[in-house]
Amino acid sequence: MVKNMRFYSIMALLCLPIFVLSCKNDRKGLSNREISQNKKTFEKINKVLIEDDRELIDNYVKRHNLDSMKVSGTGLYYYIWGIPKGDLIKTNNVVEYLYRISLLDGTLCYQSENNTPKKFKVGQGGVEYGLEQAVLLMRPGQKGKFILPPHLAYGLIGDGKKIPARSIIVYDIEMLNVYR
């Protein structure tokens, strides 16, 4: 309940500068002072959201005894294991993998259907930014568990289907092949 109230308070703070800007009568634009104040407000909100996400992820890691997980500079949590069968994946490689996507509470959102691998070209977009980062840490033959905070996953709005707004997602990946 408290978390929901905090979320709605943050969303209200996000909307306030937009509302103020839309009601502004002069058409010359914002003053440097107003721009600076709005920027500071958004920075504070982002810091609070990122701290909340980090706390939720750290609790998940502890509950699931994932002490070996590492954290990238962007906030991607990762643990990779297995015997590598080749070089690290690079931008412009096409990767073929099996996957499972779930929420922190264990709710399954998506997974490989009938063990049919998914493919994408690294660096071309079309997938979550955190997934792009994750596969660049892998080699063919390895498996990985990746936790993507909202800013690396589906952001403020979710995917409009099974992943709600501001969701932290857990990716389990088995890297099958890499085409260079």
DSSP the chain: -HHHHHHHHHHHHHHHHHHHHHH---TT---HHHHHHHHHHHHHHHHHHHHHHHHHHHHHHHHTT-TT-EE-TTS-EEEEES---SSPP-TT-EEEEEEEEEETT--EEEE-GGGPPEEEETTS-SS-HHHHHHHTT--TT-EEEEEE-GGGTTTTT--SSSS-TT--EEEEEEEEEEE-
pLDDT tens track for 29-88:
788 888 888 889 989 998 999 999 999 999 999 999 999 999 999 999 999 999 999 999
Q: Which pTM value belongs to this model?
A: 0.83
Q: How confident is the model at residue 20 (pLDDT cuts 50, 70, 90)?
A: low
pLDDT tens track for 138-171:
999 999 999 999 999 999 999 999 999 999 999 9
For residue 16, pLDDT beyond 80: no
For residue 2, pLDDT beyond 80: no
- 70-179: CATH class: alpha beta
pLDDT tens track for 76-135:
999 999 999 999 999 999 999 999 999 999 999 999 999 899 999 999 999 999 999 999
**Regarding predicted confidence, which is higher, 21 or 162?**
162
For residue 178, pLDDT beyond 90: yes
User: What is the pLDDT at residue 30?
Assistant: 81
Residue spans per domain, the chain: 2-63, 70-179
User: What is the pLDDT at residue 12?
Assistant: 52
For residue 8, pLDDT beyond 60: no
**Regarding predicted confidence, which is higher, 9 or 48?**
48
User: What is the pLDDT at residue 167?
Assistant: 98
